[in-house]
Chain A
Amino acid sequence: MKSEEEAGRAVEQYADLVRRICMIHLKNYEDSEDIFQTVFLKYVLRSEPFDSQEHEKAWIIRVTVNACRDLLKSFFRSRTVSLDQLIERPQDMPEDHSDILEAVLELPARFRDVVYLHYYEGYTAPEIGRILKKNPNTVYTLLARARQLLKTKLEGVIDDE
C-alpha cells in the first residue's frame, strides 16, 4: 500500500489526465468523482511497484479507461441514463475550444481514447495498443478513421496536418 504522501502526489500529478478521460466518456461531474475514487483507491492499494514514471502513467490511463467503461456498462446506469443526457453537451466543456471538443466527443466511443492519447498525450499507435491492449494495426485504423470523421465535422475550421 502506498503512503498518504504518495497518494497526494499521484492525485496532483494525474488529476488532469484522469479528468480528461472522464470527460471524453462521461457526462456528469458526480460520475467523475466516482472514477477518481476508484482509480486512486486502486493506485493506493496496488502493492507491486511501477517500473518507471511512464509505466505508472500508462497504468493510470488503462485503469481510468476501464473504470469509465465499467461505469457505463453498469446495470444501474444503463437503466437510468436518459436519452437527453446522452446527446447533451458536457457542461464543463471549455467555451474557447468547444467546437473541436464537441467534435471529438461526438465521435463513437472507440475513437475517443485513441484521439486523446495520440493527439494530446502524444502516444504512438503501438504505445496506445499496449496501454489499451489493442492491436497496433487496429489503433492505426481507428486513428485514421477518427481523423477522417473529425475532418468532415470540422471542415474549413481545421488545417489538416
Chain B
Amino acid sequence: MSNRIREAFDDVRAEKELKEHTKEYLRRKVYRRNRTLWTVPVRAAAAAAFLFLIALGGGSWLYLAPTAYISIDINPSLELGVNRFDRIVSVEGFNDDGVRLAERLDIKYMDYDDALEEILSDQSVEDYLAGDALLSVTVVCDNEAKNSEMLEHVENCTSSHSSVSCHSGSTGEMHDAHEAGLSFGKYRAYLELRGLEPDITPDDIRDLSMREIQDLIDSLSGEGRESSDENTDVPDSTGVSDDTGGEDGHHSEEHEGGQENRHRHNR
C-alpha cells in the first residue's frame, strides 16, 4: 500500500505558476518594495522632473546671476546687480541710508535705465541732489564693451543732473571694496582720499556723504599745498590761511570737517 500511496502522491506537484505567483508575492510584499515603484512611467516622469529642475536651475542662474554692478553713492550707498539681460537682480544698501533706500525702492527686475530714473526721482535722493550733494555712479563690468556701453547709458541717464560723476571699474576692485565694507563708488573715493591721508580707514568714511568725502579730498589736497607753504614760510602761511578762511567760509567749514574726521580716526 505504501508504494501505491507514494506513487499517487508523487504525481502531485506544485504548478509552475503557483511557484511563480508565490515568488512574485514575496517580491512584492517583502523585497524590492521600492523597485516596483520605479516602473517605466515613473522613471520617465522622474527623469523629466529632474531635467526640468536642471533647466529651471540653469535658467534662473542665467537670469539671476549679476554680470555687472552699478554703485550709486550720494550719502545713501546702493549697489545694483545687473544681469546679462540688463535687468536689476539685486539691490544692496551699503550704509544705513542705503539700506533704507533699498527697502523703499521697488526696482528689482527693472531695466537698469528705468531703475536709475526711479532712484533719481526718489524723494530722498531728489532732496539730496537739490542740496549740495554729489552723486557718484560707478559701473563695474568685466566685459569691456558692456562696461563702456553701460557707462554711456548711465551718463545719459544722469546728464540732467549736475554734480554727478560717472566712473567704471573692474570686479576685482569691487571685491576689494566689499572686503572693506564699502560700496564701490565710495571705495574709489576712499582710495583717492588715502592717497592724501594714508592713515584713513574705510570705517572713517563709511557714513560720510560723497560730498563730504569729496570736500575732504579737496581740503586735504588744499592743506597739502598749505603745509608746503608753511614749511617755507611760517608767518606768511598763517596769513594765507586766515585769508582763505575769510574769503571762503564754506571752504573753512570743509576744512574743519576734515579735521574732525581725522580726529575721529585718531581716536
Contact = CB atoms under 8 A, between A and B. Distances in A.
A36 B22 contact: yes
Interface string A27-41: 001001100110011
Given A11-B19, A94-B8, A100-B8, A158 B26 contact: no
A154 B14 CA distance: 27
Interface residues of B, number: 26
Interface stretch (A1-9, A51-59, A75-83): A1-9
A125 B11 CA distance: 24
Interface in B5-29: 5-15, 18-19, 21-23, 25-27, 29
Q: In terms of DSSP, what is the predominant structure of the interface of chain B?
A: helix
A32 B18 contact: yes
Contacts of A93: 12
Nearest to B13: A16
B61 interface: no
How many A residues are at the interface, by size bracket? 35 or more
Contacts of B27: 4
Interface stretch (A18-26, A65-73, A131-139): A18-26
A124 B177 CA distance: 95
A109 interface: no
B26 A94 contact: no
A124 to B, nearest CB: 13
A7 B23 contact: yes
A94 B10 CA distance: 10
A115 interface: yes
7 contacts: A16-B14, A36-B14, A36-B21, A36-B25, A96-B7, A97-B8, A159-B1
